[in-house]
């Protein structure tokens, strides 16, 4: 029988990220036992109860002021033990990718990463995840006493909070400076006001066909601004210096899962597809009618991106 679900809720600037609400609401919908939240560090936890958490297990210590693999692993293990949960859910974020494999090894727990769907099958949580660069999907059932799953952001919609409150349970993980393996000396906040690529609902990406940074900035960024979208780029565009590495989508960049993905001048190499194939709607613009990306596009436009993109921008700006 399930002992419930513990959801790792990531915070940014003292508040829960959108992924925290997505995970909590999905955990409640699974109906696999009581739902609680795990918070590492300080922050305003008042919004977690209305989104489904019955309890908030909060691990605070000076050594957790900034992320460190060893300290976070210790914090996760203590919170799991305190909650008695049999399932741990987390967003497929950079933090989760780093800490959860170590936690799984320490606990002897099964780990299913990058899931795009979570279901309750006979009281057990089952994750569905893409494999072979998204060419196939597999269902993962974990038989260890504790199962750990990460979910790609935007896999489920976030609805208005239903109300309710959560009891905050302080957890002493006995984390000290000796558990900190990396020291953060400075933090530089991103200047962009758009959502991070991994959480963005809409993305406009450009490829090497933009022919230069000036053209990339003149075509891709205005279209993204008109859509309220985040800018992405293929590896070829990043390697050519058109965009920064933080904007790279693909196997060696960021894996994204938006509602809308517009690909301008991107051929659709398997490495790029691996990072965006699960997008709900894919719009591809390419002069080559045989470009592989058209096989996966919801809508395809065979044409010159330098003509098509400004037309799309103009229409969007009027609406």
pTM: 0.89
Q: Are residues 62 and 152 in the same domain?
A: yes
For position 177, what pLDDT does the model report?
A: 85
Q: Is residue 55 part of a domain?
A: yes
Judged against a pLDDT cut of 80, whether residue 2 lies above it is answered with no
What is the domain extent for residue 250? 197-318
Q: Is residue 24 part of a domain?
A: yes
Judged against a pLDDT cut of 50, whether residue 1 lies above it is answered with no
- Rounded mean pLDDT of 277-294? 96
Domain boundary among 179, 209, 229: 179
For position 300, what pLDDT does the model report?
A: 97
Sheet arrangement for strand 87-91: 110-115, 147-151, 87-91, 5-8, 35-40, 55-59, 167-171
- Rounded mean pLDDT of 193-208? 92
End-to-end CA distance of the chain: 52
Q: Is residue 188 part of a domain?
A: no
E strands present in the chain:
5-8, 11-12, 15-16, 35-40, 55-59, 87-91, 110-115, 117-121, 124-131, 136-141, 147-151, 167-171, 202-206, 230-233, 260-264, 281-286, 299-302
Q: Is residue 186 part of a domain?
A: no
Helix (H, G, I), strand (E, B) or coil at 110: strand
Domain boundary among 179, 212, 239: 179
Q: Are residues 85 and 212 in the same domain?
A: no
Q: Are residues 30 and 139 in the same domain?
A: yes
Q: Is residue 44 part of a domain?
A: yes
| Calpha distance 77→32 (Å, rounded) | 21
| % of the chain exceeding 70 in pLDDT | 98
Q: Are residues 173 and 208 in the same domain?
A: no
Q: Is residue 137 part of a domain?
A: yes
Q: Are residues 48 and 174 in the same domain?
A: yes
Q: How many domains does the chain have?
A: 2
**pLDDT digits over 201-247, tens only?**
999 999 999 999 999 999 999 999 999 999 999 999 999 999 999 99
Q: Are residues 214 and 297 in the same domain?
A: yes
Q: Are residues 251 and 221 in the same domain?
A: yes
**pLDDT digits over 100-145, tens only?**
999 999 999 999 999 999 999 999 999 999 998 888 999 999 999 9
For position 319, what pLDDT does the model report?
A: 67
Query: Burial level of 18, CB count in 10 A (0-12/13-18/19+)?
Result: middle
| Calpha distance 175→16 (Å, rounded) | 22
Structure tokens at 317: 């700006």
For position 162, what pLDDT does the model report?
A: 82
- Rounded mean pLDDT of 83-89? 97
Q: Are residues 173 and 60 in the same domain?
A: yes
Q: Are residues 123 and 265 in the same domain?
A: no
Ordered alpha helix ranges (H), 127-248: 213-227, 235-239
Judged against a pLDDT cut of 80, whether residue 52 lies above it is answered with yes
For position 130, what pLDDT does the model report?
A: 93
Q: Are residues 106 and 149 in the same domain?
A: yes
Q: Are residues 151 and 262 in the same domain?
A: no
For position 183, what pLDDT does the model report?
A: 80
Q: Are residues 250 and 170 in the same domain?
A: no
Q: Is residue 192 part of a domain?
A: no
Confidence of residue 189 (pLDDT cuts 50, 70, 90): confident
Confidence of residue 85 (pLDDT cuts 50, 70, 90): very high
Confidence of residue 93 (pLDDT cuts 50, 70, 90): very high
What CATH number has the domain bearing residue 52?
3.40.50.620
Mean pLDDT estimate for the chain = 94
| % of the chain exceeding 90 in pLDDT | 84
Judged against a pLDDT cut of 50, whether residue 186 lies above it is answered with yes
What CATH number has the domain bearing residue 304?
3.40.50.1220
| Calpha distance 37→82 (Å, rounded) | 12
- Rounded mean pLDDT of 161-178? 91
| Calpha distance 250→109 (Å, rounded) | 28
| Calpha distance 319→306 (Å, rounded) | 21
Judged against a pLDDT cut of 80, whether residue 172 lies above it is answered with yes
Ordered alpha helix ranges (H), 134-212: none
Query: Residues 6 or more apart from 221 whose CB is under 8 A from it?
Result: 231
C-alpha dist (Å) from residue 13 to 10, 41, 58: 10, 11, 16
Q: Is residue 87 part of a domain?
A: yes
């Amino acid at each position: 029988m399930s002992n419930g679900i513990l959801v790792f809720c990531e915070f940014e600037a003292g508040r829960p990220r959108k992924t925290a609400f997505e995970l909590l609401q999905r955990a409640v919908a699974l109906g696999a036992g009581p739902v609680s939240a795990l918070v590492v560090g300080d922050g305003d936890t008042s919004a977690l109860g209305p989104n489904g958490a019955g309890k908030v297990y909060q691990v605070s210590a000076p050594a957790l002021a900034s992320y460190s693999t060893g300290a976070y692993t210790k914090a996760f293990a203590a919170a799991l033990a305190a909650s008695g949960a049999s399932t741990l859910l987390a967003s497929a974020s950079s933090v989760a990718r780093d800490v959860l494999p170590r936690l799984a090894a320490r606990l002897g727990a099964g780990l299913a990463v990058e899931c795009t769907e979570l279901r309750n099958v006979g009281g057990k949580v089952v994750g569905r995840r893409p494999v072979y660069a998204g060419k196939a999907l597999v269902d993962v059932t974990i038989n260890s006493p504790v199962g750990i799953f990460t979910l790609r952001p935007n896999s489920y919609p976030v609805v208005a909070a239903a109300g309710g409150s959560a009891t905050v349970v302080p957890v002493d993980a006995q984390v000290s400076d000796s558990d900190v393996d990396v020291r953060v000396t400075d933090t530089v906040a991103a200047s962009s006001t758009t959502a991070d690529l991994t959480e963005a609902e809409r993305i406009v990406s450009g490829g090497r066909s933009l022919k230069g940074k000036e053209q990339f900035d003149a075509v891709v960024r205005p279209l993204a601004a008109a859509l309220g979208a985040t800018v992405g780029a293929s590896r070829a565009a990043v390697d050519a210096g058109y965009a920064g590495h933080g904007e790279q989508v693909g196997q060696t960049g960021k894996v994204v899962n938006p509602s809308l993905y517009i690909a301008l001048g991107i051929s659709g190499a398997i490495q790029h597809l691996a990072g965006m194939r699960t997008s709900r709607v894919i719009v591809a613009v390419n002069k080559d009618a045989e470009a592989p990306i058209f096989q996966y596009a919801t809508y395809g436009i065979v044409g010159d991106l330098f003509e098509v993109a400004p037309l799309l921008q103009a229409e969007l700006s009027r609406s």
